[in-house]
């Protein structure tokens, strides 16, 4: 395989080196910031056997080459384009010039939450294991595993502690990533998060219990209850932004000789007072209102709401805004009155539907290249990775993407009707099974079958309709 030739053809199809601002690669894709995407010759790109698909999202033009190929093509590509080796962060920064303020906001939320997803996924899986050990009637008609085998009680207790840690100290994690995103010192961001969950504060999860009373402090007539922010999202995001602005401003005006002493001191001191007297109480209320609003919508609209969310999710993925949903999911899980992620199962159905549509195309396609993408793409989507199926097949032909939306809508209605929820964030499809609450596992599996089958059947139907109309269903 001549990677230089592939890079030359790719560069020509992208409008030449004068149209390239920056280029980087991830595990499977060449990520590009372009001056003018209208100059891209997609037909020429798709003719390349090594190209598995192309798409544009959040100001980036991305070409799917696959693992093991993309890094070698990238190496030759930057030489031909006269570019320096850039990171994906550099390309993201360059691509932000081409997106709207609305998209920038959701990208900001995504940048804050994506780094902590591994922690939330681990916590969710551990919660799933804890459920398997403590749920009565799962392996025995009346008893749980730890009731059948008391020696496991200590293990279950430790696992439960491990599972809760990420949510109890969520402000610390978010303080770090948010401060980094806002240009502040991430360690100071973590310190602000620690202040918000300090042991001297009443644990937020115990607030409202008859035997739990918060201390009240009085400052010039302002009285504030000393309640922690365990598991909250919005308060730390706003606090980290304020902290970063204070720190950046202080760095500008404090003399270098005393900067190391004065700036951290004043940053933490000022931010701390602002949190407890202004930002915290207000944003806690807003965050609770958002969470309860989502619960109200879910309970009120039921299957209809599930159909809308399940059917529209893949379209939202195209905008790149889907990563911002992690904030809502974390808020639902962290709220002691909810502690259920009913959004992720709906996203899961949409992802599986992309696999069903690609699988339907595998049986119908005559084009050898697209056929070779369709089957592995279908398998990948069922395992939670939708890019090969969505961008390599379904979106190119459009009607499989519509079929997948129908599959996601039908299965989303089922998931909402049967009240399936997850106890974590991250994994979808089959890998998401351990995150599903024990009571909903059966319904979740049925939902995946519905999603896959409906999308596959509708894809085949649309294919045949295209043929009957005398149209080419593979163009």
CA distance 5 to 322: 36
Paired tokens of 130: 């804890």
Q: What is the dihedral of CA 442, 447, 450, 454, to 10 degrees?
A: -170
Active-site hit among 21, 26, 165, 316: 26
Helices (H), 169-279: 170-181, 186-196, 234-253, 256-274
* Cβ atoms within 10 Å of 215's Cβ, excluding its own: 11
Place of tokens 């994994």: 427
3 state SS of 320: coil
Cα→Cα distances 292→86, 109, 326, 373, 389, Å = 43, 20, 16, 42, 35
56-92 core/surface letters (b: 16 or more CB in 10 A; e: else) = bbbbbbbbbbbeebbebbbebbbebbebeebeeebbb
For this structure, is 26 an active site residue? Answer: yes
CA distance 289 to 282: 11
Paired tokens of 285: 């209320």
CB-based contact 52:125 (threshold 8 Å): no
CA distance 250 to 260: 11
Could you tell me how many residues make up the chain?
A: 475
Q: Which residues belong to the active site?
A: 26
């Amino acid at each position: 395989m001549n990677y230089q030739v592939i890079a030359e053809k790719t560069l020509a199809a992208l409008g030449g080196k004068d149209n390239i601002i920056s280029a980087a690669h991830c595990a499977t894709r060449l990520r590009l910031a372009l001056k003018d995407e209208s100059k891209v010759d997609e037909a020429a790109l798709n003719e390349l056997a090594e190209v598995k698909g192309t798409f544009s999202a959040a100001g980036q033009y991305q070409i799917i080459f696959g693992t093991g190929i993309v890094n070698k093509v990238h190496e030759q590509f930057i030489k031909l384009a006269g570019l320096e080796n850039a990171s994906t962060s550099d390309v993201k920064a360059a691509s932000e010039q081409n997106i709207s303020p609305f998209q920038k906001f959701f990208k900001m939320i995504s940048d804050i939450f994506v780094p902590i997803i591994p922690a939330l996924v681990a916590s969710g899986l551990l919660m799933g294991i804890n459920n398997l050990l403590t749920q009565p009637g799962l392996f025995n008609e009346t008893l749980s595993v730890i009731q059948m085998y008391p020696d496991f009680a200590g293990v279950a207790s430790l696992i439960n502690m491990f599972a809760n840690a990420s949510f109890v100290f969520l402000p610390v994690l978010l303080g770090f990533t948010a401060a980094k995103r806002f240009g502040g010192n991430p360690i100071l961001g973590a310190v602000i998060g620690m202040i918000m969950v300090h042991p001297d504060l009443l644990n937020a999860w115990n607030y409202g219990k008859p035997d739990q009373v918060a201390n009240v402090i009085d400052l010039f007539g302002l009285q504030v209850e000393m309640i922690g922010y365990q598991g909250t999202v919005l308060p730390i995001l706003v606090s980290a932004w304020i902290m970063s602005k204070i720190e950046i401003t202080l760095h500008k005006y404090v003399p270098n000789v005393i900067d190391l002493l004065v700036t951290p001191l004043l940053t933490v001191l000022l931010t701390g007072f602002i949190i407890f007297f202004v930002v915290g109480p207000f944003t806690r209320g807003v965050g609770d209102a958002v969470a309860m609003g989502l619960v109200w919508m879910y309970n009120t609209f039921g299957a209809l709401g599930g159909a809308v969310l399940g059917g529209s999710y893949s379209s939202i993925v195209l905008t790149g805004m889907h990563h911002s949903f992690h904030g809502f999911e974390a808020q639902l899980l962290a709220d002691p009155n909810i502690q259920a992620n009913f959004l992720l199962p709906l996203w899961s159905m949409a992802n599986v539907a992309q696999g069903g549509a690609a699988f339907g195309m595998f049986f119908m396609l005559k084009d050898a290249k697209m056929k070779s993408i369709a089957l592995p793409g279908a398998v990948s989507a069922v395992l939670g990775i939708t890019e090969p199926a969505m961008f390599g097949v379904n979106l190119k032909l459009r009607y499989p993407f519509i079929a997948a939306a129908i599959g996601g809508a039908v299965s989303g209605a089922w998931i909402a009707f049967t009240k399936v929820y997850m106890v974590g964030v991250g994994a979808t499809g089959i890998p998401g099974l351990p995150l599903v609450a024990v009571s909903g596992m059966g319904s979740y599996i049925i939902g995946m079958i519905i999603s896959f089958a409906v999308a596959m059947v509708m894809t085949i139907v649309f294919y045949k309709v295209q043929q009957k109309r005398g149209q080419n269903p593979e163009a």
